Structure 1
Amino acid sequence: MAGLRTSLDIVLLRTFLEVVESGGFAAAAERLALTPSAVSGHIKRLERAAETRLLARTTRRLQMTSAGELLFTYARNIVGLEREARARLGGETLHGRLRIGASEDFAGSWLPEVLETFHRWHSRAVIELKVGITADLIERLRAGALDVVFGKRCARAPEEGELLWEEELVWAYGAHRAFDVTAEVPLALFPEPCVYREAAIAALSLADRPWRLAFESGSMAGCLAAARAGFAVTPVARSQLREGLRTLASDEGMPGLPNACFYAFAGNGTAGTSALIAEVKEAGRRRRFAGAPDSLRLHESMPTGRLPPGF
C-alpha cells in the first residue's frame, strides 16, 4: 500500500471493519443499515484506493490478505480516534455520578479498557462499580441503586436489555490434563443463581451425563484456575479462555452448550449510560476480534455474485 494515489475514506474503513468483525457482508450491512450490495461496493472502492486486495474467499471462508490484516490494525485506530475527536469537538463531556453493575467476566475482561477510554473522554464523571451476579445486579437496578448493568444470559431476552453480542459457551479444562470420559464430570461453578451454572447442569442432564460439583467459587479466576489444574471442568464464554486451557467437545462426551448473550440493562436513558453502553459494545467487538483474525466464517445469507474483484 506504499505510495497510494488516493486517500482512504473513513466511511469505507468503517465498512471494512464491520465486514471483518461481524463475519460477513450481510451482517455488516445490517449493522450499518446498508444493503449488502452497498457494503460490497464500499469494499470494492476501498480496494481500489488501497491498490490491493484486502479480502480473499476460500470455499466457505472469508480471509483477510496480509494487506487486509495491516489495514485492519490501522483502521481500528483511525476510526477510534475519529470518534474521540467528534466527542471532544461536540462538547459531549459528561459530568456527575454513574453507578455501574457488572458481572465478573465483564469487570475482568471488558471494563478496564472501556473505563480507560471513557475516563479520557469524560474525565469529570465519577464512576461507582459494583461487581456481582447478573440477576442480583438487575434487582439493584430495578430498585434504583444502579444506573446500568452489564451482564449475561444464556438465551435472548428481547423484553429487556440491549443485546451487545453473542458468543459460544464452551467447556474449559486444563490444556495438558487428560480427561476421563467415563467418569462423572467434575464441575467448577459459580454459586446460584448463575446462568452458566444453569446451562451446564441442564446440558449434562439432558445428555444423561453424570456430573458432580467439585469446586464452587464466586470468582471467575477461581473457576478457571480449577479448570487449568485439571481439578474440574468449567463453562465459560470462549473469549474467557486463557493460556493453559482447552475446550472439551462431543468426542470427549461433553454436550453442546447454548450461546452466551451479553447484555446492557439501563435504568434510565441519560447521556452517560448511553455513551458507556456504546463504548462497551465497541470495546467488546474490538477485544473479541483483536489481533486480526486469520479467517472469518461467512454468514449463510452473504450474497453471492456481489464480492470484490478477484473473489
Structure 2
Amino acid sequence: MALRIANLDIDLLRAFVTVVEARSFTRGAQQLGRTQPAVSLQIQRLEAQLGVPLIDRGGRSVGLTTEGAALLPQARRMLRLNDEIVATLGEGDLEGEVRLGAPEDIATHHLPGILGAFARNHPRIRLSVTCDYTANLLDQMSRGLLDMALIKREPVGPDLGVRVWREPLVWVALDPSLATADPLPLIVAPAPDIYRKRALAALQTADIPFRASFTSPSLAGQLAALRAGLGVGVLPAAMTPRDLSVLGAPLPMLSDSEIALVSARGPDGPAGLLAQEVLRALERGPATAIR
C-alpha cells in the first residue's frame, strides 16, 4: 500500500507565521497585502490540513495552542529554506532599492552582518540606510522617504509595527559611586530620544535631582563621555561594555526597551525580502553584546 504524503502549502505557513509575529490577524493581513477574512481562511485551511487547532481564538489577542506553538519554529525553518532557495535560484536578477531607517545604536551593532549578507545574496538590490531618532524616522516613513524602519517604541504604548525584541534598560557609569551624586550627572542624547525620555521620567518620579553633564546625539560620543567618567547614562543591557558598571539603587528601575519593525510596503519585492531577513535574524533578540 502506497504511503500518502500531504504537502504543506508555503503560503498557508507564511500566513500563520506572519499573524503570530504581528500578534494580530488585522496587522498580519496588512503585512501580507491581503484582507483579514482571507488570511483567517488561510489559517483555517492550514488547521484543516494538519487536523489540529493552531490559533487560540478565545482571547482578545492572538494566542497559540500547544500544537501551534510546536509548529511555529518548524514553520519558520521551512519559510527560511524556501526563501533561501528562491533568493539563490529564483530571484537572482531581482533588482531595486530598499531604504531602511534605524537608530544609530541598532544600525551600528545589529545590522552590519544582516545587511552584508543581504547585499551578497542580492547584488542587484541597492541598500540605503538612514540613522536617526525614532520620531524622525516615522516622519520620513510618513513622507515616503523610507521603505521600512527599526524603531524604539514604548511597550505599553500604541501598537506600531511588528515587535522584534524587548530587553531591559540599565543605568551605567565608569564609577559606581556616581549613582549617589547630588545632583546626578546625566549623559544623554538630545530630545526626542526615547532613552532620554525614560531616564528623565524615572528620575523625576523618584524625586532624584539631576543635571545634564554631557549631551550627544551619537552613541560613540555618549560612550566616550561615560568612559571619561563624566556621568551616568542609559543603555540596553545587552549593549553595555564590560568596562562600564551597571548601577542599581538608589537609581530607579527603567522600563524595558522595545524594538519594532515598521514597513511601508507588502511582503513582496526587495523591501519584503529585507524585512524577512531582519525579522528572522533579530526576532529572538540581539545575537551579541559589545562585551
Q: Provide the rounded CA distance (Å) in 2 between the counterparts of 1:149 and 1:91.
A: 24
- Matched residue, 2:44: none
Alignment partner of 1:119 is 2:119:
yes
- Matched residue, 1:267: 264
Structure 2 residue identity aligned to 1:198: K
1:173-213 alpha-carbon deviations (Å, 9 max, x no partner)? 11x55335152211111111111111100000001111111
- Matched residue, 1:248: 247
- Matched residue, 1:154: 154
SS in 2 for 1:231: coil
For structure 2, list consecutive stretches of 5 or more residues without a partner in the other structure: 1-54, 57-62, 74-78
Kindly tell me: are residues 146 and 180 of structure 1, through their superposed partners in 2, closer, same or farther at Cα, counting changes over 3 Å? closer
Q: Provide the rounded CA distance (Å) in 2 between the counterparts of 1:102 and 1:158.
A: 19
Say which of 280, 283, 290 aligns to 1:282.
280
SS in 1 for 2:111: helix
Q: Provide the rounded CA distance (Å) in 2 between the counterparts of 1:165 and 1:201.
A: 23
TM-score, reference length from structure 1? 0.64
Q: Provide the rounded CA distance (Å) in 1 between the counterparts of 2:164 and 2:113.
A: 16
Structure 2 residue identity aligned to 1:87: A
Confirm or deny: 8 A CA contact 1:154 1:196 kept in the other structure. Answer: no
Q: Provide the rounded CA distance (Å) in 2 between the counterparts of 1:110 and 1:180.
A: 29
More deviation, 163-172/281-290: 281-290
TM-score, reference length from structure 2? 0.68
Q: Provide the rounded CA distance (Å) in 2 between the counterparts of 1:93 and 1:165.
A: 32
Alignment of 1:32-111 (within 5 A): 35-36=65-66, 84-85=84-85, 87-91=87-91, 94-111=94-111
Confirm or deny: 8 A CA contact 2:154 2:258 kept in the other structure. Answer: yes
Q: Provide the rounded CA distance (Å) in 1 between the counterparts of 2:96 and 2:67.
A: 44
Q: Provide the rounded CA distance (Å) in 2 between the counterparts of 1:206 and 1:271.
A: 47
Q: Provide the rounded CA distance (Å) in 1 between the counterparts of 2:270 and 2:72.
A: 33
- Matched residue, 1:194: 193
- Matched residue, 2:216: 217
- Matched residue, 2:129: 129
Kindly tell me: are residues 276 and 181 of structure 1, through their superposed partners in 2, closer, same or farther at Cα, counting changes over 3 Å? same
SS in 2 for 1:213: strand
Alignment partner of 1:139 is 2:136:
no
Higher relative contact order structure (alpha carbons within 8 Å, sequence separation ≥ 6): 1
Confirm or deny: 8 A CA contact 1:99 1:148 kept in the other structure. Answer: yes
Structure 2 residue identity aligned to 1:114: I
Kindly tell me: are residues 246 and 84 of structure 1, through their superposed partners in 2, closer, same or farther at Cα, counting changes over 3 Å? farther
Kindly tell me: are residues 107 and 81 of structure 1, through their superposed partners in 2, closer, same or farther at Cα, counting changes over 3 Å? same
- CA-based RMSD: 3.3
Kindly tell me: are residues 42 and 201 of structure 1, through their superposed partners in 2, closer, same or farther at Cα, counting changes over 3 Å? closer
Confirm or deny: 8 A CA contact 1:110 1:287 kept in the other structure. Answer: no
Confirm or deny: 8 A CA contact 1:156 1:261 kept in the other structure. Answer: no
- Matched residue, 1:24: none
Confirm or deny: 8 A CA contact 1:110 1:280 kept in the other structure. Answer: no
Shift of residue 257, structure 1, vs aligned partner? 0.7
Structure 2 residue identity aligned to 1:271: G
